[in-house]
Structure 1
Amino acid sequence: MSESSGAASTVLVNCTVVDGRIVDGVGPLPDAAVWVRDDRIAAVGPRDEVLAQAGEQGGFARVDLDGAYVTPGLTNMHTHLSLSLPGSGGDGVKGMSPHELAFYMADGARRTLLCGVTTVRCVAEKDHADFALRRAIAAGRVVGPRIFTAGRALVCTGGHGHESGDTMECDGADGFRRGVRSQVKAGADLIKVMISGGIAGEHESIHTRQLFTDELRAVIDTAHAWGRRVTAHAGPAPVIAEAVELGLDCVEHGYQLTPEVVARMAERGTALVPTLLVTRCKEFFDELGVPEWMQCRSLGAGPRHLESYAMALEAGVEVLLGSDMPPFWHFEGTNASVRELEYMSEGGIGPAHALYAGTLGPIRWLGAEADLGTVETGKYADLVAMDADPTAETSAFRGIRWVMKGGRVVRDDRSGWSAQ
């Protein structure tokens, strides 16, 4: 299939359609067809009905998907396209000029889309390059996923991630209010704040508290006043508990949760992006030359991290896909996004809820469900196709062989074509 397959009117046939609504009892639709007109879904339903409907409107291109399962593209909620961990690999990224960084991030965006991730939530990118990349993708100058971004993450002086241009150092309630407003001014869709130490800070521990109550309240209240949700890098239970009471919308990592904290998260509707990969990825660390101190801290946190995830599931906390590793990175036989989703599925949610956690759940958190997240009439045609049933096994996503974003086919393995 050539690039011209993104015709103004296309009908996808010979497929089974399924999306995250399966957790609400909306089952797969076999022998289906999806009519894509321009960048949106014009109709979806039984094949003959959709073909007749499209035919009434004139000519269309017919694309046979050879019995594939069609789902929405994945949404990765913890993305860093300018990631630079301690070590030689990260030093190379930190040493890039602004021009080099722009090309590096654009290449990462392209690779992300081609692996089936059609939407990302960036949660700390260098020097506001993410805003330029978002504009370039929207204008069609760069191939990449839809981007929702926090801009630069907010940290205290010397706080987690302060060493790079993807964070902004603030102090005091007034300083953090200015930090929130500065990211909103730049175009941020959400706010990210570092409220504890983490695995990548040499002079801190996961337990290190990094914001006082007035600072944390200032971030959350100011962001909410501007209509922006707040997510927090956070590991230990006490600081998470306080943030949840103050209105935090999402927790990243949650390495050391407790039954009491996850119960409150569930009550308050605070989501969790567990990023399970980050405490079980020695191969990735070795590839980037990550130092031994960080590897020990990360891998050593793994067992407790899984326990926290299990607690969250038992309490009914909503969990969402986020890899922390670059979404496209080849890891353990697939890409980081799919491997994270597999870990989440194996850790207790199972394939059907994993499909939800990788598609509709994140889109609902982002407030974009009017346009994205399901295969429904009126939504953007951001779709992927695979041969195996993702509701039977999450590993089906390893077999993604066809990707469409906004009505344009960007990958089709049958013809060997992809957007380059």
Structure 2
Amino acid sequence: MGDMVIVNCTVVDGRACEGTGPVPDAAVLVQGERVAAVGPREQVLRRAGDLRRVDLGGAYLTPGLVNMHTHLSLSLPGRGGDGVKDMGPHDLALYMADGARRTLACGVTTVRCVAEKDHADFALRRAIEAGRAAGPRIFTAGRALVSTGGHGHEGTDTLECDGPDGFRRGARSQIKAGADLIKVMISGGIAGEHERMDTPQLFPDEMAAVLDTAHAWGRKVTAHAGPAPAIAQAVELGLDCVEHGYELTPEVAAAMAARGTALVPTLLVTRCASFFDELGVPEWMRARSLAAGPRHLAGYAMALAAGVTVLLGSDMPPFWPFEGTNATVRELEHMSEAGLGPAAALRAGTLGPARWLGADADIGTVEPGRYADLIAMDADPLASASAFRSVRWVMKGGEIVRDDPPGAPR
């Protein structure tokens, strides 16, 4: 750490969709944890004086990625998930800390956790903030709220609730623990053996109780949701974000756009057969996931057509090696290739999430005053989302945490 000036780079961020073009032959002045100046090289160097220079060798410099659907304690049905479920609290904490370190190294400098076991996410966040562990900035929902027997009820990453009073208590309990947002399961999903993906799991008064309570405390609510009727009902009541949206319709997508409800599509979860094979998930889950793929992709296209704000989220662990890259980058590629395009994909992975989190004064762009959460890559992210496969340099809060030489194997 320490003050420095980053040179020999082209600065690009999500504001490219809003008319702010790349800055070629740029320099970035970093003072402490934050960016102090950005602009043409000579202009910034005059201000920087004789500060240490970090030469990026012609790389493209962007904000660090923000993964909005993260489970560092993920345990799907099958032998891989069983190994995580069987961990004691100390093993689990170390497992999650290793995942956080690997997540940061692949260029994800912020995550939104949307259901973690035993509130270990809060301890991990404290350790990262204190400098005792390496990892991204963590925004977390704590344990997700679920009806008795509902989606994900089997694990310690959810809290079973029933009735409006039960869901109010559930929301308050997560806020008491330190949750930045609330996650609620309003339908069935891929990983629930004794449910369908279109099984509704909350009554309107239960959903309203969650939303009213969270919003009163200044927290947003995101919902695991597949079927259009359940999503429509929740959007009407004021839902802030939909996870997955497997079966969207044009009408529901239009309602989401009109009310400002965002979508984290997690396209990977219906096109990741090799990941399921690696974890040994049961055949019923594998078949359900892959069968939902075409409809999932169609719903995503409907959301784009309606103007819904879409945000990057992998559901798979952000760092997981997958199809020649990591899960975060592969998800961003799917989002771009399925109609979003590279510039908007960059925004969906940086500035868009920062705005949803209410953190855009601190993260999401390369601007003075923001944290120096920066990543560098050899290819142009405005030409292709696959440019993020070439990430070779990562900085978080002014500290360089990865520095591969140009051309090194990724």
Gaps of 5+ in 2: none
Deviation at 1:206, TM superposition (A): 0.5
Q: Would you say 1:266 and 2:257 are equivalent positions?
A: yes
Counterpart-to-counterpart distance in 1, 2:69 and 2:347 = 16
State the partner residue of 1:111. 102
Counterpart-to-counterpart distance in 2, 1:60 and 1:124 = 43
Q: Work out which of the residue numbers 286, 290, 293 in structure 1 matches 2:277.
A: 286
* SS of structure 1 residue aligned to 2:183: strand
Q: Work out which of the residue numbers 155, 162, 166 in structure 2 matches 1:164.
A: 155
State the partner residue of 1:16. 10
Deviations 1:187-246 (A, max 9, x none): 000000000000000000001010001000000010000000000000000000000000
State the partner residue of 2:326. 335
Counterpart-to-counterpart distance in 1, 2:277 and 2:89 = 27
Normalized against structure 1, the TM-score is what? 0.96
Alignment of 1:132-143 (within 5 A): 132-143=123-134
State the partner residue of 1:198. 189
* SS of structure 2 residue aligned to 1:311: helix
Deviations 1:351-404 (A, max 9, x none): 000000000000100000011100000100000000110000110000000000
* SS of structure 1 residue aligned to 2:132: coil
Counterpart-to-counterpart distance in 2, 1:184 and 1:416 = 46
Deviation at 1:54, TM superposition (A): 1.2
Q: Work out which of the residue numbers 31, 44, 51 in structure 1 matches 2:45.
A: 51
Counterpart-to-counterpart distance in 1, 2:296 and 2:158 = 25
Q: Work out which of the residue numbers 70, 76, 79 in structure 2 matches 1:85.
A: 76
Counterpart-to-counterpart distance in 1, 2:126 and 2:239 = 28
Q: Work out which of the residue numbers 345, 354, 364 in structure 2 matches 1:373.
A: 364
State the partner residue of 1:354. 345
* SS of structure 2 residue aligned to 1:401: strand
Deviation at 1:416, TM superposition (A): 11
Counterpart-to-counterpart distance in 2, 1:42 and 1:270 = 33
* SS of structure 1 residue aligned to 2:341: helix
Shift in alpha-carbon separation, 1:416–1:91, aligned structure 2, 3 A = farther
Deviation at 1:60, TM superposition (A): 1.4
Deviation at 1:131, TM superposition (A): 0.2
Runs of 4+ in 1 over 6 A off after TM superposition: none
Counterpart-to-counterpart distance in 1, 2:54 and 2:218 = 41
Counterpart-to-counterpart distance in 2, 1:90 and 1:415 = 37
Report the AA paired with residue 62 of structure 1: R
Deviations 1:11-44 (A, max 9, x none): 0001000100000010000010000011100111
Q: Work out which of the residue numbers 301, 320, 324 in structure 1 matches 2:315.
A: 324
Q: Work out which of the residue numbers 28, 31, 35 in structure 1 matches 2:25.
A: 31
| 8 A Cα contact 2:57 2:406, kept in partner | no
Deviation at 1:133, TM superposition (A): 0.2
Normalized against structure 2, the TM-score is what? 0.99
* SS of structure 2 residue aligned to 1:89: helix
Counterpart-to-counterpart distance in 1, 2:3 and 2:397 = 12
State the partner residue of 2:374. 383
Deviation at 1:87, TM superposition (A): 0.1
* SS of structure 2 residue aligned to 1:388: coil
Report the AA paired with residue 159 of structure 2: M
Deviation at 1:89, TM superposition (A): 0.3
Deviation at 1:415, TM superposition (A): 8.9
| 8 A Cα contact 2:378 2:406, kept in partner | no
| 8 A Cα contact 2:392 2:406, kept in partner | no
Counterpart-to-counterpart distance in 2, 1:41 and 1:259 = 42
Counterpart-to-counterpart distance in 1, 2:360 and 2:266 = 23
* SS of structure 1 residue aligned to 2:316: coil
Counterpart-to-counterpart distance in 1, 2:406 and 2:33 = 22
| 8 A Cα contact 2:14 2:365, kept in partner | yes
- Overall identity of the aligned pairs, in %: 78
Deviations 1:84-138 (A, max 9, x none): 0000000000000000000000000000000000000000000000000000000
Report the AA paired with residue 17 of structure 1: V
Counterpart-to-counterpart distance in 2, 1:400 and 1:113 = 12
Q: Would you say 1:392 and 2:383 are equivalent positions?
A: yes
Counterpart-to-counterpart distance in 1, 2:162 and 2:304 = 35
